[in-house]
Every structure is written in C-alpha cells, then in structure tokens.
Structure 1
Amino acid sequence: MIPAKRLCLSAILLLAAAMPAYAHVGIGTASSFTAGFMHPLSGLDHMTVMVAVGLWAALKGGKAVLAWPAAFVCVMLVGGALGMLHMPLPFVEPGILASVVTLGLLVALAIDLPVSAGVAIIGLFALFHGHAHGTEVPENAGGLEYMAGFAIATLLLHTAGIAAGLSLGIRFRGVARAAGAACAAIGIGLAFGIV
C-alpha cells in the first residue's frame, strides 16, 4: 500500500500540474536592477517558493542548507537566459504553480530526500521561474541588471527561510511545517483563482 504522505503529495502534484490558471502575471517592469530586486517581493508565488526552499533546506540541514538555495539561483539564472533568448520551454506557468504547491508540501510533510534529489526538484522549478522572468525582459533593456537584482532578492528570501527554519529548531519544527502547509494552500488558491 502507498503511504498516505506519498499518495497525498502525488494527488496534489497532478492537480496542480493540470490547472489552467497562471501563477505568474508579469508584475512590473523588467528593465533595471531595482525592478529585478523588487519582483520576487511583489507576488505570493515568488515569496512563498523562495522562503519554502529555505525552510526545506533548514529542515534537511547539512549540505542542503547551501546546495538547495544555490541550485535554485543558478538554474533560475539559466532559465532567465533561455527566456531572454526566446527559447521556448513548455509548461512554464503550470510549473510555477506546481512549485508553490510542491515545495509547500515538501516542507509541510517534512519530506527527507537526498540532497541530490532536492537539487533536481528545486532546479526544475527554478528553471520555470527563471524562464518566466527572462521572457519579460524587453530586448532593449538591461536584462543582466534585472536578473542580478532578481537573484539577490531570491537569495535573501532563501536566507530568510533558512534563518526561520534554523531558529525554530527541532522544538518548534511544527511551525516550519505549518508555514509549508500555508505555502501549499496559497498555491492551490492561485490555481483556482482564489488568491
């Protein structure tokens, strides 16, 4: 029999992947460092995913604390470059929605995966986030400045998640898991247009 955690996770992932709603709405401009820095702070999809990566890394501990946020930022920048080059990537918007739900569930259920598996999951979602933002950069704009701002803000949000997760420690681990559940709920709300 499939464990309840895996069954629940699988069902929600399939649901999120099938949703036609768009999580990423292209808020603001994409032509400066400041715009790039402010963008992750301008929407629930961005903030929840970035903090969830940090929380999940803190729950895992060890090498994940550095590897998972680094993987997100590096692959996000690759995705941004692909988007700026107008290279198509399928399922970007559903992938962003799935990232909010999935990363929230990974935290809420305190899923303990090998660091390499976490890198792969986080990297896949980072590719979608980066691509979405890379496609927003006007051809005559400073895309590199925008992506630098976006990367720094992303790192700060990851750091906030890590700091929160580590400061809560084992005694208050349930609070971090509740934050993950809230992230997943936000993702579901975005998928259904409730949030």
Structure 2
Amino acid sequence: MIPASTKRTTLAAILFLAAAMPAYAHVGVGATSSFSAGFAHPLSGLDHMTVMIAVGLWAALRGGKAIWAWPLAFVGVMLVGGALGMLHVPVPFVEPGILASVVALGLLVALAIDLPVSAGIAVIGLFALFHGHAHGTEVPENASGLEYMAGFAAATALLHGVGIAAGLGLGSRFRRLARAAGAACAAVGVGLALGVL
C-alpha cells in the first residue's frame, strides 16, 4: 500500500510538471460549427478521450453521489468554459491546464484517491473549464457555436458513461484494472507533455 503522503507528493509534482508544458493541441483545429463536428471532436483526440473516461472511472471508484455529480459537473462547467471562449473572455493557462488534466485525472484513478464529492467537483470543474474554453475559442466568428457545443457535451457525457460503466462493470474484484486504466491515462498525459504522442 502506498502511503497517502507519497500519493499527494507524486500528484503535486506531476501537476506542476504538466502545468509548465504547453499542449497547443486545440485552438483553430478542425470544423467547429455543427453538432456532428462537436460530437466527433472528443472521439478524435487522445487527450479528450482519456480525460472523459477517467472522470467516469474515478466517479465509479468513488461511488455514491459522485457517479452522477462528477460527470454532470464536468459537462456543466465545460459548457460555461465554452461560452467564455466564444465570448473571447481570457482564461489563463488553458493549454497547460488541459495537459495537466490528463495526467492528474489519470493519477486520481490510478491511486484511487478518495476525495469528498464536493472536492472532486472542484477539481473536475477546474479542468472542465479549461477544456470548454479551448473549444469555445475554436468556434468561427460567423457561427453561433451552440450546435458544436451541444455535440461536444453529448459526446463528453457518453465518454463519462463509458468510464462509469467500465468502473462499475469491473467491480471491486477487478478494481486493479480500473486503476491500471488510470495509470495509462496519466502515461498518455506524460507522453503528450513530452511530445511523443
């Protein structure tokens, strides 16, 4: 068993490392004015898929209210971030925040960090704001972006559902598999930070 202090120190170190490295993977990439483009976007990027599934896995590992509250918080705050991006309201550290989310959420699953539901909402909400803002800034000036954001929200909820179903389906007997998936998510984040993925 890994001591809690070691878990916290490792998590903090990786978050600081990830925050110092820009991802530059979002702004101005792809079509962003239709529901289908918005729906396809989270399914086309490793960073999106790993984060969205990790939220679902973490919620399933935590159980209780987290199963619905954490995914709902992510989608809701992501939409707020998208609106801020469309309105050109600046949010600092968006790209490093996205990269940090891949590593951090992977570690939260891998280490099975058991936060109170409200603390999990805060962590997830912060990362969701970055994801939403990045995508809101991609919407062309001549498009409303509402269809795109609706598509992105639907795909995000679907990926959360995949993570929840996998986490609950694995059950406590196979908890190590869910944690291994979290470790893989964190490894993807490190790979993105180092530019090897």
The amino acid of 1:141's aligned partner reads: A
Q: Is the CA contact 1:30–1:143 (under 8 Å) kept in the aligned structure 2?
A: yes
Taking structure 2 as the reference length, the TM-score comes to: 0.96
Question: What are the residue-to-residue correspondences of 1:24-39 with 2, within 5 Å?
Answer: 24=26, 26-39=28-41
* 1:3 aligned counterpart, secondary structure: helix
CA contact (8 A) 2:61 2:112 kept: yes
Look up the SS of the partner of 2:89 in the other structure: coil
Residue 141 of structure 2 is matched in structure 1 by 139
Q: Which one of the candidate residues 160, 163, 174 is aligned to 1:161?
A: 163
Measured against aligned partners, the alpha-carbon deviations of 1:105-140 in whole angstroms (never above 9, x if no partner) come to: 000000000000000000000000000000000011
Q: Which runs of 5+ in 1 are unaligned?
A: none
Secondary structure at the counterpart of residue 76 of structure 1: helix
Cα pair 1:80 1:147 within 8 Å, conserved: yes
Give the TM-score, by structure 1 length: 0.97
Aligned residue number for residue 91 of structure 1? 93
Shift in Å, 1:6: 1.0
| Runs of 4+ residues over 4 Å off in structure 1 | none
Q: 1:156 to 1:31 in 2, by over 3 A?
A: same
The DSSP-based 3-state class of the residue aligned with 2:88 is: coil
Unaligned regions of 5+ residues in structure 2, if any? none
8 Å CA contact 2:23–2:98 kept in 1: the answer is: no
Q: Is the 8 A contact 1:32 1:142 kept in 2?
A: no
Name the structure 2 match of 1:45. Answer: 47
Preserved contact between residue 23 and residue 96 of structure 1 (Cα < 8 Å): no
Out of 154, 177, 182, the residue aligned to residue 152 of structure 1 is 154
Q: In the aligned structure 2, how far is the partner of 1:35 from the partner of 1:155? A: 16
**Equivalent residue, structure 2, for 1:122:** 124
Q: By how many angstroms is 1:22 displaced?
A: 2.6
Deviation at 1:4, TM superposition (A): 1.1
Q: Percent identity?
A: 81
| Matching residue's letter, 2:194 | F
Match of 1:186 among 178, 185, 188: 188
Greater shift, 166-175 or 5-14, is seen at: 5-14
Paired residue total: 195
Q: Which amino acid aligns with 2:152?
A: F
